[in-house]
Structure formats: structure tokens, C-alpha cells
Structure 1
């Protein structure tokens, strides 16, 4: 999602990124090649870039209630458990991290210090094994108490705990130097110390990271919500999902699971410490339940409170002609390239036979899936696990059945057999449209398909359970930062597989392949692109994951909403500069 090049500056190894811009993608891409336009951004080297306040938004004013319409509740709001972009977008309003991407009007991203005074200091002159972060002055929680380095360290340390295993694991794996990050230290809930080995706290403002291997990507990893501070006295374990303790401009006022989330201003947030966020709206209210069709129709009508609303979901296929044909909606459309690769993951614990997995790959009808979900305005066919926006990505097709699949080739591979596949799908409008399309294509190829819905709020949690009840499912991924290092090891390293919280949801493990992942991880980012592309091709031969489409975004806002933009980083709406007219 965010390709980058490595350069040295300011006494530390820093990374300059070529970042996917928020640009419209015209025409379809049936050949599978990228039509993504790219922008450039980087990492801040001037300390002033990390200072606040954020630049004022022209025409913005304070006041009002911003309404966000969303089809289902968040799986998690606990920062250390969050790995779904809609929740990560919401969290930017109430949970600050050590670093953060700042986005300009053109979609260009710059990594700056958020809680920290800058993107970090490499203490050993570009060796990337010992890093130091200093917190800014004036940082406070929602009750006025100070945010400390110990709180940041405790937040990272609690991410080791198996009870809250759904979030990113980069920091825990790097600090422990183990793919199975909690083999020894299991976090503060399980008898461990409050601060994980490898973290050093010096006073209230200094936090150091000590690694056994180089990790030059640390500044980027710290913009993930794992580095959000959590004071131990406020940690309620699994219940922290219900009311995270705010370090940002908003705090949780009311949260009724499955119904609504209301955020209100945190009066102790100091904009002078924050180079990214504003608090223009008095409150920001999420309403859970409206489908994409309902959201779009309400915003087309643009009446009453919906003038102050935003649709979180894309315009559905059935309403695209209406939206495209109404010129008055152009100024209220948020459109651009999203960074996600949607792919079918085969549970290889159940489907061990390679030919059966190859038959699934040949059977998939990408054209039908894309048309079902909205057509070329919302997706391009995908054949690689690496997004075209990742540095070094190379187009490649494994077991290619053409745009509409090749059921005859699939049948040949099955050799007259008719295997049963339990297909788990997300029980929301997206999943309800996707599942029949997948079923029809697979059944044409000779499979027997049983569809099983999964509650939308728990979908990724269920897929991440090693003992889940499914053979096949469609999930998605966007790189957490701009190299294959934030894709291939996360999705394909079988050594990371645990009971819960897995990202490798194909559950495939191969020692020889894993060794190649390790080798690529040690290559400097500027030279690593071809290594990751080669591993993408090699992984494709397992047919453990089958890319289907690269996503785009197209949604609407009400006529009295301003400042909402598509996040180049997250690929979903960004509300840090939102205001009401």
C-alpha cells in the first residue's frame, strides 16, 4: 500500500515513501495490470513538522454533531486489539500514537511525531537496533492526568496477552525476536512484568526500544494503534473495548454495542501538541445498522440531519447509475484508489491437497465478483498478494482461469471428484452479494459449496481462530507501511500461527519458505522490492491465497459536511479535519 525508499538523514535511518495518492482510476483493468497513480511522501526530518497545531482548514468552524452511518459495529475499539481500518480511523479521534501519518490535500503522506517529538532517533547511527522516543510537553488524558512513557510501554506490553491478541504483532515479535512473540513473556495479565523485555523507560518522557535484530521500519510500525498509551490503572482487560481512555481530541461519551457510538470533546487535549487533528465538531456520532443502500439513498436525499452525515460504506452497484448521473452529487463524493487486496484464503488445515486448491483458483470468476460488488468503479481484478502500490510489486498470474474463471480446467484437476467446501462469509451487504457469486463459480467447477454466515462484527476474529469452522473465506489486506515487509511475513509466515488472532488465515506453514522471508527481511528497504515480489510469486504456487480484486472507494457526504477525505494510509474516510457548515 505504501512503497518506500531508504535514505539517511538527521543521524538516523529514515524512509522516503512513494505513496498511493487519492486519485480517480478511469476505466476497467481486466488484464490485471495496475492503473494506480502514485504520489510521493516521506518521513519528517524537520522537528517543526511534528509540532502542533495542525494547519487550519479553510472555511472550517466549530460546532455541531457529525453523523457517521456505518453498516455494522466495530469489532474492537481497544487500540491494542484493533486491526480493521474503520476502527483505526475512529481511534485517531481518541487514541494518539508515538508517530502518525499526516496527509496533505493531494493525499501525500508524511510520517511525523504524534505523542513523540519526532519520528524517532536511532541511537547507533543507522544500525536500527536501539531507538529512542521522547514525549512532548503538555500531553494529557481525558481526566487531565499526564501521559507518560510508562503508559506507552504498558500499552505495547499488554499487546502480548493472548486475551487481546487481535491487533498488530510487529512490536511484540521484534522485541521478543520470536515469531511466537509471547512464548516467554506473556504480558502483564499473565504474571509478567508491566513492561516487556526490550523496552526501557527513562523518567516520564523517554522510551527506548532495544532489538536483537535491525528494525529500520520502527517509525512506521509505531503509527499503528499498538503504541497508543494505556495507564495501568485504567486498563479493564477485555472490557477496555467498551470505553478506551482518551489521549486525543475526543472521548467516548456513550457506546451502545450494535447501535451507536458518541464521541465528545476531550477538554484536556492540547492542539498545540498535535500536528494532525482538529476538534471542529462538538460531537461525532456513529450509527450502526444502515446498509450501503440505505446510507446512499439517505445522502442522495440530503434532508434534515442527513445533511450533516457521512456514508461509511461505498455506493452499491444498484445506485451507481443514479449517483453518476446526478451532477449535484459530485462535490459530495469521496472517490479514489483504496490500498486493499481482497483475496480468497483457503484453510489448508482442511484442504491439504494442492490440486484441489489449484482448482479453486481456476474456478474463481473475478469478473462476476467485481460486477456483483459494483463494477470497475469500485474494483480492479487482482492476481498478486502485493498491491500495485507496494514498491517492487510485479504483475503475475498463477493458475489463471481468465477474467471469468476456467471451470473446465478446475474439473480436470479435481479428476471427477466433488469436494465439499464450507464457505464462510461476512453477514453484511458486501458478504451477502459476494457469497452467491463465489458459490456459483465453484459449483460450476464441480465443488459442493455450503454457505455459512458469520456475524459482521466478529468476522475477522472468527477467521483468526485456528480452529475456525470454514474451508474458504474472502478477506482483505493493505500493507501497514510501504513495503512487502508489511505484507508477506504478516500473511504467509506459518510460524506466527497461534490459537487466536491470526493474520495468516490460510494456516499454511513451510520451513523453507519461512527462511526466505527471514532473508528478505534483512535486505534494506531500497533493495528489498524484488525480493518481496519473488516471494509473492513463490507463495502463489501454494494456492493457499487467491487474489480477487484491488479495491477502490466511492462514497457520499451530506451537503453540510466538509473536511472529510479518503485516507491514503487507511483506505477509508478520515475525520481528523471534519467540520460542519
Structure 2
């Protein structure tokens, strides 16, 4: 049997205590953070596929010129400042002393290369070029100054470039997307560095000790891909992960009363609304009460659209169907987002008023309609469609329900196969939302790319164009608000609610919840 002296035993005890202290919050770093993600990450190439899970993960490895804070406001990133020096030119001043994870220095050449790169990825399934196509030229003034020129005045350029991550020109110049996925080309300025990537299973990152900003509290972060709600919750309860995003609504009450866990919540940028077919004289899902197709599309009448809005009890929808995980909406963007109009109020539940409007529009006995929606995209989305159908039936609109998996639903909705379709949309600027959701459809400019109802109003188009062309923020805000008021007073779409984003964490952790719903490991901290 080995014999230990008192001195040696004390030394070992002290060493063990020191090891524990090194993992404690007081020491500044903890060993490992494990997070359960609800959606798969398809690539680590930050310019290849414009999907939210990919963007969220890329934010750990790379930086953009401009960052977005937890409330959806623009803040300095790799650029310490930006300004319009004339109507067509924006100047970005770069942060000094920033190094890539390989120790090389960030320069303006890396910025120009990164802004050019998305257009070279011609096989991209989700291009980032919508954020760069406004830029017609790039000028390197000096190693820390870049000027970007646009063909016409364009106010949202700083918001656009907040989605373009800056990569190392040296590492990425001849790199393929596979080189990023393998880690070979993953040289960034973000708070973490690449460790491993097993698609559909996990991504492992380690702290970047040359990061220019506040160092993350974790030596290592593991993101587990747990797309099943049950599997994600089970992993949290079993201690296999420290936190999860997209908490299943049915399990919220159980987690709230469990002393081992805490919740972080915030109203997200995602607004849920109904898009209504307003372009066709005959609409595919509109019938009389006997199921015979109507020759006239009632959704083209603003009184019918207003009646549908009045028929919906939004507070009951939020309280019962969504289990409190939303707030009733009056706008297409969440409160605090550029273009949110305070003058717009949540439509009051008024079934008698809805019946009166229907009678005035020539439908005293209502009509038949099928409501379409996804069944695996938003919080309790299938139940939301069913609940709205019940509200419409009470005012004489005979509503049927059909829901589909997202992969099928989006394609059919965008192809115009539905009369009424549920959509959720998140944006950090109201004029962006109006342009995409309600602008007159134009494939050449990208306007109306998600305008499922084919709404068209030249006055709205002009207000949105004026907003986008405003380089002065207050002027842009005013135009965006005017556009929102015009569109929503015309019931161009029917807002329902703003969704909550919810994270669940083990006790002893805290997280800054974000309006954009992203999960950033570097914003988790030990308490």
C-alpha cells in the first residue's frame, strides 16, 4: 500500500481544488458548454446557403462589418463606424488590431474579397447575393477604410452587410465549400475556432484566444443537432446538454416549476399573419356553402379582408392555442423594429362587425374557404390554423383546414395554389418586410418574392422605394411607417401575433435572449 506524507496529501488536495477553481465562473472560463439546436446546420461555409441555422453558427467563427444586438439594433462589428459620405457612397472604418484565428491581420482587402465571394458561388441553394447586389463598386482607401458605392441612394446598406461574414482572403481565395466544412478554410475573426463538424449530429468549437472582443466564458462549445422536440427536451432533462433553443410549448409549464432549470424569453422578430389571394378573379379555394367554386373572388374586397380580421380573437389565440408564447400583432414587424407604426392598433375582436361587413360586401350568408398552413414550422402552427377556422365559421365563413409539412407547403404557397395561407416572417427593417411581402412582384428586382397574395399598390411601392433610398435614418423611419399604415389599413395581409423565442437552461447559467432568435454560445454566462 502506498504511503503519502501529510505534505504530499495537502499538495494533492490543493492541486485538486485548483483544478475545480479553474472551471468555476470566478476563474472566467468553464470547461464545456453543450447546446441543443432545433435545426440542422447544412454547411460551415458562411457564404454558401442563406439559412438561419447556418448564419447563427457562422457568427461564432466569423464577424461581419456590422453586428446586431439582442434587441435588433445595429452595433459596431469589424467596422467601428460607418456613414454615407454622399448619396451613393458609404464609408466603413475598420477596427485596428483584429487578427484572424491563424494570427494574420485583418485588412480592407479581406473585406472586399468577402463581399465579392457570394457572387462567385453559382451553385448556392440560398444565395447571399441579395445583400451585395446593391454594391456596384468597392474601394480600398487604406488598410482600415473601405468605401462601397451603390447605383442609387440606398439606406439599408449597413443592415445588408451585417449578414456578410468576413473571411480571410488568404485562406479562402481558392477554397471550396468542402474546404470550409472540413475546417481547412475556416479562418475567421470570431470568438471561437473550429474543432469538428459531423453533419446532422454535432459541431464542436474551441475558444479563439486572439479574438478582438470580450472572450467567451467557455473553453469548448458543443452544438448537438436535436431536431425532435422530445429528443431535445430529454437531452436537457438528462443533463446531456446545458441549454436548448425552441422549447416545446407543451413542456414550458413543467420546466417553469422545475428548480433545476430557468427560461430565457423575448418577443422575436417573427410575425405570423395570413396572406390572402387578391389578384385573381377566381381563387382556387373559394366556394359557396355547397362547395361550388365562386366566379368572383371575395378576397379582392377590402371589406371581406377586414371582416376576416375582425372575426379573429387574437388574445384568445395567444392565450389558449399558443399557451402564452406570443403577443397579438398590429404590424408586420415586432415592436422596436424600424418601421413599426405605433398608430396601428391590434384589431378588436368583433364578430358582429365582421358579419355586417360581409353583408355589405354581398356575402350575407358567407362563403366557403380552405385555410392552408404548415404543421412543423411555427409554434403550434397546425392548431393555429384550426383555431382561426373556428373563428371564421362563427361569422358565416365556412372554413376548412389543410396543413402540410414545410417542405411541401412553401412550394405550393409560393406557386399560388392557395387562397389563404399562413406565413411567419422576421426582419430587422419594416421597409425590407414590405418590399418582400407586399411589394408589387417583380422577378428582376426581387420585389414581392414572398408576396403570396399578389397584392399590388403603386402608392405602397413608392413609399417603400423612398424609404430604401433614404440615407438619413429618421426620414427612412417615417417612410417605412407610412408604408405600413397604408398597407395594413388596406388589409393587404392579416397580422396575427408576434411569436416569443424561448430558451431553457440548467440552473447556474444565464443567456441574453435575442429578438432574432439566434443562439450564440458566447452570450451564455455562468451565474
Place the TM-score, normalised by the shorter chain, in its bin. 0.7 to 0.9
Distance in 2 separating the partners of 1:507 and 1:77: 35
Residue 246 of structure 2 corresponds to which residue in structure 1? 313
Aligned pair 1:67/2:31, yes or no?
A: no
Q: For residue 82 of structure 1, report the CA deviation from its aligned partner.
A: 6.0
Alignment CA distance shift 1:254-1:572 (3 Å)? closer
Matches within 5 A, 1:370-519: 370-376=318-324, 378-390=325-337, 393-397=341-345, 400=347, 402=349, 408=355, 412=359, 413=361, 415=363, 416=365, 418-421=367-370, 423-428=372-377, 430-444=380-394, 445-455=396-406, 462=411, 466-467=414-415, 469-480=417-428, 484-495=430-441, 497=443, 502-519=449-466
Structure number with higher relative contact order (C-alpha < 8 Å, ≥ 6 residues apart): 1
Residue 156 of structure 1 corresponds to which residue in structure 2? 115
1:88 to 49, 55, 60: 55
Distance in 1 separating the partners of 2:469 and 2:111: 27
Residue 189 of structure 1 corresponds to which residue in structure 2? none
Aligned pair 1:112/2:76, yes or no?
A: yes
Distance in 1 separating the partners of 2:523 and 2:274: 35
Matches within 5 A, 1:287-306: 287-291=225-229, 295-296=232-233, 299=236, 302-305=237-240
Q: For residue 84 of structure 1, report the CA deviation from its aligned partner.
A: 5.6
Distance in 1 separating the partners of 2:312 and 2:368: 15
Task: Answer whether contact 2:64 2:163 (CA < 8 A) is retained.
Answer: yes
Residue 184 of structure 1 corresponds to which residue in structure 2? none
Task: Answer whether contact 2:268 2:334 (CA < 8 A) is retained.
Answer: no
1:545 to 486, 493, 496: 493
The count of corresponding residues between Structure 1 and Structure 2 is 473
Distance in 1 separating the partners of 2:148 and 2:35: 38
Aligned pair 1:233/2:174, yes or no?
A: yes
Residue 13 of structure 2 corresponds to which residue in structure 1? none
Q: For residue 423 of structure 1, report the CA deviation from its aligned partner.
A: 0.9
If the length of structure 1 is used for normalisation, what is the TM-score?
0.67
Q: For residue 298 of structure 1, report the CA deviation from its aligned partner.
A: 5.5
Higher alpha-carbon Rg? 2
Distance in 1 separating the partners of 2:94 and 2:402: 51
Residue 158 of structure 2 corresponds to which residue in structure 1? 219
Matches within 5 A, 1:195-210: 197-201=136-140, 207-210=146-149
Alignment CA distance shift 1:225-1:546 (3 Å)? farther
Alignment CA distance shift 1:394-1:98 (3 Å)? same
Task: Answer whether contact 1:354 1:543 (CA < 8 A) is retained.
Answer: no
Aligned-partner SS, 1:452: strand
Q: For residue 357 of structure 1, report the CA deviation from its aligned partner.
A: 4.2
2:89 to 125, 129, 137: 129
Unmatched 5+ stretches in structure 2: 1-23, 284-296
Q: For residue 171 of structure 1, report the CA deviation from its aligned partner.
A: 3.7
If the length of structure 2 is used for normalisation, what is the TM-score?
0.73
Aligned-partner SS, 1:92: helix
2:216 to 278, 291, 296: 278
Aligned-partner SS, 2:60: coil
CA deviations over 1:308-346 (Å, ceiling 9, x no partner): 421201351x444434445x25x7221333333222223
Alignment CA distance shift 1:531-1:98 (3 Å)? closer
Distance in 2 separating the partners of 1:556 and 1:57: 20
Residue 335 of structure 1 corresponds to which residue in structure 2? 265
Q: For residue 539 of structure 1, report the CA deviation from its aligned partner.
A: 0.7
Task: Answer whether contact 1:129 1:212 (CA < 8 A) is retained.
Answer: no
Q: For residue 212 of structure 1, report the CA deviation from its aligned partner.
A: 3.5
Alignment CA distance shift 1:219-1:348 (3 Å)? same
Distance in 2 separating the partners of 1:410 and 1:287: 49
Residue 505 of structure 2 corresponds to which residue in structure 1? 557
Distance in 2 separating the partners of 1:87 and 1:320: 26
Task: Answer whether contact 1:129 1:215 (CA < 8 A) is retained.
Answer: no
Q: For residue 203 of structure 1, report the CA deviation from its aligned partner.
A: 7.7
Distance in 1 separating the partners of 2:507 and 2:455: 48
User: What CA RMSD, in Å, does the superposition of the two structures yield over aligned residues?
Assistant: 4.2
Residue 317 of structure 2 corresponds to which residue in structure 1? 369
Task: Answer whether contact 2:439 2:448 (CA < 8 A) is retained.
Answer: no
Task: Answer whether contact 2:272 2:425 (CA < 8 A) is retained.
Answer: yes
Residue 287 of structure 2 corresponds to which residue in structure 1? none
Moved more, 387-396 or 535-544: 387-396
Aligned pair 1:576/2:516, yes or no?
A: no
Q: For residue 235 of structure 1, report the CA deviation from its aligned partner.
A: 3.7
Distance in 1 separating the partners of 2:181 and 2:490: 37
1:140 to 100, 110, 113: 100
Alignment CA distance shift 1:500-1:171 (3 Å)? closer
Aligned-partner SS, 1:494: coil
Alignment CA distance shift 1:546-1:235 (3 Å)? farther
Aligned-partner SS, 2:387: helix
Distance in 1 separating the partners of 2:351 and 2:502: 24
Alignment CA distance shift 1:130-1:500 (3 Å)? closer
Task: Answer whether contact 2:50 2:126 (CA < 8 A) is retained.
Answer: yes
CA deviations over 1:539-572 (Å, ceiling 9, x no partner): 1244332111123344311235x3532125x244
Task: Answer whether contact 1:83 1:168 (CA < 8 A) is retained.
Answer: yes
Alignment CA distance shift 1:91-1:276 (3 Å)? farther
Distance in 2 separating the partners of 1:410 and 1:365: 17
Q: For residue 517 of structure 1, report the CA deviation from its aligned partner.
A: 1.8
